[in-house]
């Protein structure tokens, strides 16, 4: 049984690894070798990666792929995608090519406002608190001048601060609800710094507000933190074409395809069990680009799924219709992204990804990421309502199964050809590989 360790963070990287492999692994030498084989041979680059987080022991690789032929607002893009799941990049590429010939994707940034809150308790008369807030609000802004100076020069900064009464939810609970414009930065550190200064000023000024009783003067700050729910940092992505142009097959008309496709979207709009998987497919595309560009996919995920529930029930993020013979498929989605700050100026592959995307502004990146999500959803629904999702996915997954069984190059070649005309499943691949190996031994 392993024992707790003290002072782990103070150990060198090598000592951390020695303790870990000796404590948890049956073959410490092999475990250490696996970790070290993922170290970068460039010591300076490895140190950069080591310093991104704490207690680093190695690098964890994800494949970085690209999906070409995305026509967005009449400009061509090749989109970088960092993801481990088979068929995502292929599906995005296929959707991009489909819409390239039908006018491409159209996008609009609707708004870019971000939110932060100071949460606090106040025991007393709300009207006096409101008078205090109205009086102190200009000072809240003034006291953040050192923080906001550079952001304001670029056209961003604090947009507004509101006092919100939340006592119907929790006794004595109130908020300072602040809105921000952070331009090309995602802005988390900027927003949190402003909020913490708001809290300091608010608490200090309350002590000298002459209308407060002694108890009312002692406002209790709970926490100051940005929100990853950004319903006013919104982008729209859409595609459209005549219904007759939807068909790529003589067996399925454009009208039949559109009817089934729209019904599939409608099901996701009303059925939460379907909506979760439907939206997960959207996030396959979105997360892959968010990761490749050094942004926070966890924050994006949280905000997007909250937005999908904004009407009281979890629902589809995408929508579709046919009107006057025109098929339309669209999505409005909240995306708080940055192209400066964080990893964007540090990680070499992030810098490369952003250059590949023509060095986008945050607004540009919002549009590109939204398109990746819409394309992914279109490709998934197209497969689901025609050939089925497994046909394409399992073809892409075949190589993973073969690698799991350490298939040779020759075995991969033979079985890839075999499964062009046979149903792929884990069991079928296992049996075919075993049969091939038995026959080769004779």
Pairwise CA distance, residues 143 & 131, whole Å = 19
SS3 82: strand
Give CA separation, 388 vs 26, 384, 399, in Å. 44, 4, 20
| DSSP H helices in 357-422 | 362-384, 389-404, 409-418
Q: Which of 296, 347, 364, 397 is catalytic?
A: 296
Read off the tokens for 10: 């103070």
Pairwise CA distance, residues 180 & 160, whole Å = 7
Contact 180, 113 (CB under 8 A): yes
Pairwise CA distance, residues 333 & 234, whole Å = 6
SS3 134: helix
Q: Which of 85, 216, 232, 411 is catalytic?
A: 85
Pairwise CA distance, residues 289 & 429, whole Å = 32
Contact 79, 372 (CB under 8 A): yes
The verdict on whether 85 is a catalytic residue reads yes
Pairwise CA distance, residues 252 & 121, whole Å = 62
Pairwise CA distance, residues 372 & 139, whole Å = 43
Among the listed residues 348, 291, 44, 46, the one whose alpha carbon sits nearest the alpha carbon of residue 35: 46
Q: Buried b vs exposed e over 50-77: b needs ≥16 C-beta within 10 Å?
A: beeeeeebbeeeeebbebebbbbeeeeb
The verdict on whether 406 is a catalytic residue reads no
The verdict on whether 127 is a catalytic residue reads no
The verdict on whether 250 is a catalytic residue reads no
Q: Which of 119, 347, 363, 393 is catalytic?
A: 393
Q: Which of 280, 305, 351, 412 is catalytic?
A: 280
Residues known to be catalytic? 85, 280, 296, 393
């Amino acid at each position: 049984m392993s024992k707790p360790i003290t002072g782990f963070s103070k150990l060198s990287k090598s000592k951390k690894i020695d303790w870990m492999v000796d404590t948890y692994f049956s073959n410490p030498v092999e475990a250490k070798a696996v970790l070290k084989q993922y170290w970068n041979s460039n010591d300076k680059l490895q140190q950069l990666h080591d310093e991104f987080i704490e207690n680093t022991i190695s690098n964890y690789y994800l494949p970085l792929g690209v999906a070409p032929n995305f026509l967005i607002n009449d400009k061509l893009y090749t989109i970088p995608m960092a993801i481990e799941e088979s068929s995502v990049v292929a599906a995005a590429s296929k959707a991009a090519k489909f819409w390239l010939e039908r006018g491409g994707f159209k996008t609009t940034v609707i708004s870019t406002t971000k939110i932060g809150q100071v949460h606090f308790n106040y025991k007393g008369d709300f009207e006096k608190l409101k008078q205090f807030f109205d009086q102190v609000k200009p000072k809240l802004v003034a006291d953040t001048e050192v923080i906001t100076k550079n952001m304001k020069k670029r056209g961003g900064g604090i947009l507004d601060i509101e006092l919100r009464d939340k006592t119907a939810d929790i006794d004595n609970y109130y908020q300072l609800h602040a809105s921000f414009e952070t331009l090309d930065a995602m802005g988390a550190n900027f927003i949190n710094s402003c909020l913490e200064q708001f809290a300091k000023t608010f608490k200090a000024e309350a002590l000298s507000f002459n209308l407060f009783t002694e108890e009312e003067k002692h406002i209790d700050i709970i926490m100051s933190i940005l929100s990853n729910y950004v319903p006013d940092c919104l982008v729209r992505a859409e595609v459209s074409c005549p219904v007759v142009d939807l068909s790529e097959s003589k067996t399925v008309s454009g009208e039949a395809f559109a009817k089934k496709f729209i019904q599939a979207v409608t099901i996701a709009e009303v059925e939460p069990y379907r909506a979760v998987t439907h939206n997960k497919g959207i996030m396959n595309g979105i997360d892959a680009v968010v990761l490749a560009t050094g942004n926070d996919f966890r924050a994006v995920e949280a905000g997007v799924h909250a937005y999908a529930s904004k009407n009281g029930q979890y629902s589809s993020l995408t929508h579709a219709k046919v009107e006057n013979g025109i098929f339309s498929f669209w999505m409005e989605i909240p995306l708080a992204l940055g192209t400066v700050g964080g990893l964007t100026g540090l990680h070499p592959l992030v810098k490369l990804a952003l250059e590949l995307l023509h060095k986008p502004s945050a607004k540009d990146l919002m549009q590109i990421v939204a398109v990746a999500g819409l394309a992914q959803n279109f490709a998934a629904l197209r497969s689901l309502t025609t050939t089925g999702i497994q046909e394409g996915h399992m073809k892409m997954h075949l190589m993973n199964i073969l690698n799991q069984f350490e298939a040779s190059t020759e075995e991969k070649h033979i079985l890839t050809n075999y499964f062009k005309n046979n149903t792929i499943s884990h069991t079928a691949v296992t049996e075919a590989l075993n049969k091939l190996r038995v026959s080769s031994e004779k």
